[in-house]
Structure 1
Amino acid sequence: MPKTYHLQLGPLERDLPLITLPNGVTIASFVLLGDAELTHYAAEQLLKKIKTDTFDYFVTVESKGIPLAQEITWLSGHKRYIVLRKAVKDYMVSPLTIPVEAITTSASQQLVLDGTDAARLKGKRVIIVDDVISSGGSLQAAEQLMQKAGAQVVDRLAVLAEGSAKNREDIKFLGTLPLF
Structure 2
Amino acid sequence: MQPHDFWQTIHPAGAHADAGPFVEAYPARFTDGRQLLLPIRALADGRYGLASLIVNQASFAVLSALADDLAARLRPFSPDVVVGLPTLGLTLAAAVAERLGHGRYVPCGTSRKFWYVEELSVPMSSVTTHHARRLYVDPRMLPLLEGRRVALVDDVISSGASIVAGLRLMAAVAVEPVAIGAAMLQTERWRPALAELSPIWPDRVVGSLVMPLLERTDAGWIAEDQGIGPKRGIRFSENPTR
**TM-score, normalising length from structure 1?**
0.84
Letter in 1 for 2:175: A
Asked whether the 8 Å contact 1:17–1:29 carries over to 2, the reply is yes
Aligned-partner Cα distance in 2 for 1:21–1:39: 29
Letter in 1 for 2:37: R
Aligned to 2:41: 18
Aligned to 1:174: 208
Asked whether the 8 Å contact 2:151–2:179 carries over to 1, the reply is yes
Structure with higher RCO (Cα < 8 A, 6+ apart)? 2
Aligned-partner Cα distance in 2 for 1:178–1:106: 25
Aligned-partner Cα distance in 2 for 1:140–1:40: 26
In structure 1, stretches of 5+ residues that fail to align are: none
Aligned to 1:102: 126
1:74 and 2:108 are equivalent in the alignment? no
Equivalent residue runs for 1:150-169 within 5 Å: 150-165=174-189, 168-169=202-203
> Given the superposition, is the C-alpha separation of residues 13 and 152 from structure 1 closer, same or farther in structure 2, using an over 3 Å criterion?
same
Name the SS of the counterpart of 2:204 in structure 1.
coil
Equivalent residue runs for 1:15-164 within 5 Å: 15-18=38-41, 20=43, 26-35=49-58, 36-50=60-74, 51-53=76-78, 55-90=79-114, 92-94=115-117, 96-164=120-188
Name the SS of the counterpart of 2:113 in structure 1.
coil
Task: Please point out which of 24, 29, 33 is paired with 1:4.
Answer: 24
> Given the superposition, is the C-alpha separation of residues 21 and 31 from structure 1 closer, same or farther in structure 2, using an over 3 Å criterion?
farther
Name the SS of the counterpart of 1:106 in structure 2.
coil
**How far off its partner does 1:131 sit?**
1.1
Letter in 2 for 1:141: A
Per-residue CA deviations over 1:45-99 (Å, capped at 9, x if unaligned) read: 112222222x221011111111211111111110111111122123x44351100
Asked whether the 8 Å contact 1:124–1:150 carries over to 2, the reply is no
Per-residue CA deviations over 1:125-147 (Å, capped at 9, x if unaligned) read: 20011111011111111111111
Per-residue CA deviations over 1:119-178 (Å, capped at 9, x if unaligned) read: 431222200111110111111111111111122300011111112247643311122223
Name the SS of the counterpart of 2:53 in structure 1.
coil
Aligned-partner Cα distance in 1 for 2:103–2:88: 20
Structural RMSD (CA): 2.6
Letter in 2 for 1:177: M
Q: Of the two, which has the highest radius of gyration?
A: 2
